[in-house]
Structure 1
Amino acid sequence: MTVRVMRLQRFAEERTERATPRRREEARKEGRVAKSPELTSAIALAALLVALRVVGPMVWGQWENIFQLDFSTSPPKTWTTGTVEQLLVEQMMSALKALAPIVGTALVMGVAVAVMQVRPMLTVKQLIPDFSRLLPTAGVKRLFSASSLVELGKSLSKLVIVGALSYSSISRMAGEIRGYDDTDVMSIPSVVGSLVFQLGIRIAVAMVLLAALDFAYQRYAFEKSLRMTKQEVKDEWKDTEGNPQIKSTIRKRARQIAMRRMMQAVPKADVVVTNPTHFAIALRYDGATMTAPEVVAKGADALAQRIKVVASESGVPMVENKPLAQSLYRMVDIGEQVPAELYQAVAEVLAYVYRMRATGRR
């Protein structure tokens, strides 16, 4: 028996339940979201290479024009530190202007991917220093944690992929360069540049695929970290929806208040239509303010008897009409007006009551 109880307790403490919306919102406020920095850097690298491919020839052409313009003109009579510095500044500013579209594309893509992963969010909790992370025990735990092993695996994977692709490209590059003779030496830089760019593209594609796997893992790990025990779900439900006992008490009090108001409205009714034993419906009609008679109270069985007692004590006439009482009880709620299909029957009852009052009978 003791073993069984321990197993049940252990099962109850296991995090088997999916995170509730409230749990997810709290995690988001704390800055805990599923994100992969690898994906951001990989997409930024790919965007950089694509922009370099598209804008690169134009940038290279601008640089050639700048160098030709600077060095084809007659040099100053005397080279001074000032003239050299001015030339270097001009060259640097020209280079920055030429590279701005390439760097800007990579930066925009990196920011866009980061925002797409976490959605716009503002939290200051991540900026607050956590001094507990400085403890040696915390460092040892992080060193041998599952996340550290995953990060080590990612680093080794990137090292192996980059190394294999680089070795393949360099071997291919060396093979092609050996085949050139002296007349083709001038074309070697362009060939090397093309092969290096192809290597960059291959590495970028591999990094994107690896980052996509990392993002899938990060989402899995994040969802796992948010899982809740059954008891936590119950406690959260009590916090958000309220304690069931308290809610039951509130509903009971609300019913008592509604019942008290209903019974207080019976003496103001014009007539109580009865079944006669099962139903009692109190009707009130004021031609100046109402378009149709209104049900101010209704009840069945014991409640019907209470309505009849109050009506009798208050001098409200009671009329027995089984079909009408059943229809009113079934079709009209308290505070609602009588529907059109019951106008005729209700009008006959009210006319009868008014005649009784006119003759002084109850």
Structure 2
Amino acid sequence: MMKGLKKWRLFGLLAALTIFLSGCGEEYLSTLTPGGTVAKEQYKLLLLTSVIMLLVIIVVVIIYVLVIVKFRRKKVGENTIPKQVEGSHILEIIWTAIPIVLLLIIAVPTVSLTYELADTKAMEAKDENGNATAVTVNVTAKLYWWEFEYPEQGIITAQELVVPTGEKVYFNLKAADVKHSFWIPAIGGKLDTNVDNINTFYLTFDKESDSLKDGVFYGKCAELCGPSHALMDFKVKTLSKDNFDTWVKNMQATKGKKADKNSTDLGEQVFANSCISCHAVSGEGTAAIYPNLATFGDRNRVAGFIEHSEEGIKDWIKNSQKLKPGNLMPVEKDLNKGKEFTDEELDALAAYLMGLSVEK
């Protein structure tokens, strides 16, 4: 009876595991559904190595089972010793040569693809007017958020990377504090961001993200970096080339935009008296200590993981350290000169932030 129960437990475990793994193929998040040329090449390499490993496992299991069946004690008796093959030159050559061949089959495309993906010379290419021909993004990883600067366009944003489809997009990766790792699972493998040096690589984005479940690809930090590492997400919005150019122009058009302390909008007043010392609302600019909020109303999440709504904003302002331990967001009283915001101020501030948009 107990043996039967154990078998059913195993079956239940396998069934639950199957259901769990069925969620690993989401197009916006999974390496198993590649959304760009780089990801597709890496996926092919993953399939190649997996097939070879599976082949090795199958051969070993077959030999193992055959030996058990052929030389089981009931069949050959207690004192029978199978023929010994120790020292056989033929067998030694076979089980030395086969692993070498398999390793070469894996190594050649792996090394070739590694060098191909590391070639970023086109990042420096200029047209006849001296303008860069490729889109380059300076990515800076910080505790616990991401900054995206477009040096050629003179714009900057945070938490949501916006890129064109159908071309190589080049990245300069660095960290502002500790080691992080930049990873967009559906678009390409991860690459570390370091404090002392800049890593460069490129990715390609084959489709526009508006058809995806949340309208974005998901990006993550893939290097343990502190207590809120698991919450260090970012989103990637992919646009056609024309729509990307329009987005850039809209960002550049925010030049000089500032929150006014004397505004008739209470939310803008509150922002100008509390948040403006840390956050900019103009998309044109350079690297900053804290996230740029010019596109806050266009984002997919608050702080990378909270529902993008006025309620989510208010919850973040009041409980930022509880929700994302170790981040540099000041507590509510430090923001508001030692006092908590009133409900009216919070409502107005949340509405103002949701209105910061270059797409609407």
Shorter chain as normaliser: what TM range?
Answer: under 0.3
More strand by share: 2
**Structure having the higher Rg:** 1
Name the one with the larger helix percent.
1
* TM-score normalised according to structure 1 size: 0.23
Higher RCO, Cα 8 Å, sep 6+: 1
TM-score using structure 2 length: 0.23
